[in-house]
């Protein structure tokens, strides 16, 4: 039987070096092509039998490459289709917001945390949701969050004690996201013993951190956070850092590596400030151009740093973006469409109200129900959970050449930044710059991909 070759849904994007990013924007498969290869590609887009394809040795090699990448299908066989991984999953990632109290008053806090907002989570509610999450799962992740979770350290110990008793042969990964100011040696010993992964929020440069991440009455927290870094290093505990990117620290891309080198930080998450709670993008936020410029400098510095060390460090968002680009993977809940909200993650607030994702916590219209009154299964069937599950991708995204790699961005951030799920992501302009930049880095062959991307070792962003 004669073979028929076809490229469906062809999209072309001209890269800065004059070559073309060629993809099938329904399935995401792609290659890089030179200008002189475009006639062949256009012919394949129309579909043609092998007898019609009179071509050079070079064209044969290119067609082979296009077949391997999945861009060209032979006899309409579908390859590399969207795995739809997320929708088949029960939630396995739980964010436990222990309280909205915090010993700090950061200018951009998205949960409006303050010293005494509530009495903290009722232990029975935390136990119930962990018990229900474990049903039908071999492994779950529980993240202690807040407010400042270490203000509830005794509750953390009780919850871990309970979870360890009921887990039987199942695995529970514990994580904590803290401002670091209460992280003394005793607490570090306990977290180390229990295998709790630690993430610390820090805005890197002293000037930026001291201006925004402050105790009440504007007292400085910087030295407290540095002491936590030192205590963790002394105890040989690896940790990750979350940095909010804003006007005050947008110049610090290279400074990050002074910390990485000194304290052996294993992962960085760089999150541009978004509107929510006290965070107002209009006051401290940065433009997509500034975000891109920062990330370009950051990635150059990361590649340079990683080149010289076996203890490589990666940035969460770009790492998963590259994973989608290279493998069309979609297994990370925030780089998938629909995203993992309510499919693979849920969050509970201190009152016991359950939300489809931590990013929706506190916004009553997304509340699925209270765990004291309903089972997790019932909450998952609630209207608000269904609403989040059925968020459609924006029309602009459907025809966009980059859709399979950015997956349209986080819907919650789109909601908070732009007022509606229907709008295109506020970071669209950034994605349209950073993805071709990453493609260029990979294509230029001047970097070792291991210095840019962890090769899929990290599955859940921590």
Min separation Cβ 321 and ligand SF4, Å = 10
Rule CB under 6 A: which of 172-191 touch ligand SF4?
none
- Asked whether 292 and 298 are in contact (CB, 8 A), the reply is no
Q: Which is nearer to ligand SF4, 5 or 431 (CB)?
A: 431
If residue 211 lies in a helix (H) or strand (E), which one and from where to where?
A: helix 206-212
Task: Among 359, 368, 438, 447, indicate the residue that binds ligand SF4 (CB under 6 A).
Answer: 359
Token pair 């529980």: residue: 142
- If one asks whether residue 140 binds ligand SF4 (CB under 6 A), the answer comes out as no
Task: Among 133, 187, 410, 439, indicate the residue that binds ligand SF4 (CB under 6 A).
Answer: 410
Q: Which is nearer to ligand SF4, 187 or 346 (CB)?
A: 346
- Compute the distance between CA of residue 424 and CA of residue 396 in angstroms, rounded to an integer: 7
- Compute the distance between CA of residue 454 and CA of residue 442 in angstroms, rounded to an integer: 14
Q: Which is nearer to ligand SF4, 29 or 205 (CB)?
A: 29
Q: What is the dihedral of CA 226, 229, 233, 236, to 10 degrees?
A: 160
Rule CB under 6 A: which of 416-455 touch ligand SF4?
424-425, 428, 431-432
- If one asks whether residue 259 binds ligand SF4 (CB under 6 A), the answer comes out as no
Min separation Cβ 410 and ligand SF4, Å = 3
Count of residues that interact with ligand SF4, criterion CB under 6 A? 25
- Compute the distance between CA of residue 434 and CA of residue 288 in angstroms, rounded to an integer: 10
Alpha helical stretches, state H, 264-315:
281-284, 288-307
Q: The tokens of 357 are what?
A: 């994702």
Q: Which is nearer to ligand SF4, 22 or 341 (CB)?
A: 341
- If one asks whether residue 460 binds ligand SF4 (CB under 6 A), the answer comes out as no
- If one asks whether residue 341 binds ligand SF4 (CB under 6 A), the answer comes out as yes
- If one asks whether residue 330 binds ligand SF4 (CB under 6 A), the answer comes out as no
- If one asks whether residue 409 binds ligand SF4 (CB under 6 A), the answer comes out as yes
Sheet-wide strand order for 10-14: 10-14, 20-24, 30-33
- If one asks whether residue 328 binds ligand SF4 (CB under 6 A), the answer comes out as no
Q: Which is nearer to ligand SF4, 287 or 309 (CB)?
A: 287
Q: What are phi and psi of 191, to 5 degrees?
A: -65, -35
Token pair 């129309």: residue: 46
Q: Which is nearer to ligand SF4, 91 or 369 (CB)?
A: 91
The burial class, CB within 10 Å (0-12 / 13-18 / 19+), for 197 is buried
The angle subtended at Cα 381 by Cα 375 and Cα 382, nearest 5°, is 95
**Smallest Cα–Cα separation from 100: which of 85, 114, 81, 89?**
114
Rule CB under 6 A: which of 374-403 touch ligand SF4?
394, 396-397, 400, 402-403
Min separation Cβ 269 and ligand SF4, Å = 11
- Asked whether 184 and 141 are in contact (CB, 8 A), the reply is no
Between the alpha carbon of residue 390 and those of residues 87, 348, 368, the distances in Å are: 11, 21, 15
Q: Which is nearer to ligand SF4, 368 or 409 (CB)?
A: 409
- If one asks whether residue 129 binds ligand SF4 (CB under 6 A), the answer comes out as no
Binding site for ligand SF4 (CB under 6 A): 333-334, 339-341, 345, 357, 359, 394, 396-397, 400, 402-403, 406, 408-412, 424-425, 428, 431-432
């Amino acid at each position: 039987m004669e073979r028929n070759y076809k490229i469906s849904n062809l999209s072309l994007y001209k890269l800065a070096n004059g070559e073309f990013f060629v993809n099938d924007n329904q399935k995401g498969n792609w290659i890089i092509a030179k200008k002189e290869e475009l006639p062949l590609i256009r012919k394949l887009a129309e579909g043609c039998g092998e007898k019609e394809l009179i071509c050079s040795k070079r064209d044969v090699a290119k067609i082979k490459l296009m077949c391997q990448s999945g861009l060209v299908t032979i006899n309409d066989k579908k390859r590399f289709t969207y795995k739809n991984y997320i929708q088949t999953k029960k939630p396995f990632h739980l964010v436990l917001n222990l309280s909205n109290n915090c010993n700090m008053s950061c200018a951009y806090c998205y949960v409006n945390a303050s010293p005494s907002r509530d009495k903290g989570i009722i232990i029975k509610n935390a136990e119930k949701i962990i018990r229900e999450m474990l049903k039908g799962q071999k492994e779950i992740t529980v993240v202690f969050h807040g407010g400042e979770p270490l203000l509830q350290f005794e509750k953390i110990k009780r919850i871990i004690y309970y979870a360890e008793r009921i887990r039987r042969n199942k695995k529970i990964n514990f994580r904590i996201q803290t401002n670091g100011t209460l992280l003394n040696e005793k607490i570090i010993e306990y977290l180390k013993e229990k295998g709790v992964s630690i993430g610390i929020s820090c805005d890197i440069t002293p000037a930026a951190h001291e201006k925004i991440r402050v105790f009440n009455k504007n007292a400085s927290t910087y030295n407290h956070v540095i002491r936590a870094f030192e205590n963790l290093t002394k105890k040989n505990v690896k940790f990750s850092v979350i940095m909010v990117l804003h006007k005050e620290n947008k110049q610090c891309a290279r400074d990050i590596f002074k910390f990485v080198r000194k304290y052996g930080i294993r992962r960085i998450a760089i999150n541009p400030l978004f509107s929510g709670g006290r965070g107002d993008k209009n006051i401290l936020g940065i433009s997509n151009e500034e975000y891109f410029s920062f990330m370009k400098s950051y990635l150059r510095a990361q590649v340079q740093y990683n080149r010289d060390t076996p203890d490589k460090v990666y940035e969460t968002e770009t790492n998963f973006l590259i994973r989608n680009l290279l493998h069309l993977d979609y297994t990370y809940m925030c780089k998938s469409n629909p995203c993992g909200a309510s499919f693979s993650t849920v969050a509970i607030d201190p009152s016991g109200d359950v939300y489809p994702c931590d990013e929706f916590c506190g916004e009553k219209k997304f509340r699925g129900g209270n765990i004291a009154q309903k089972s997790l299964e019932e909450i998952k069937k609630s209207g608000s959970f269904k609403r989040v599950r059925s968020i459609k991708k924006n029309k602009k995204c459907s025809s966009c050449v980059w859709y399979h790699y950015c997956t349209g961005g986080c819907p919650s951030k789109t909601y908070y930044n732009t007022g509606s799920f229907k709008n295109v992501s506020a970071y669209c302009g950034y994605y349209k710059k950073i993805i071709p930049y990453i493609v260029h880095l990979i294509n230029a062959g001047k970097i070792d991909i291991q210095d840019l991307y962890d090769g899929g070792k990290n599955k859940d962003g921590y």
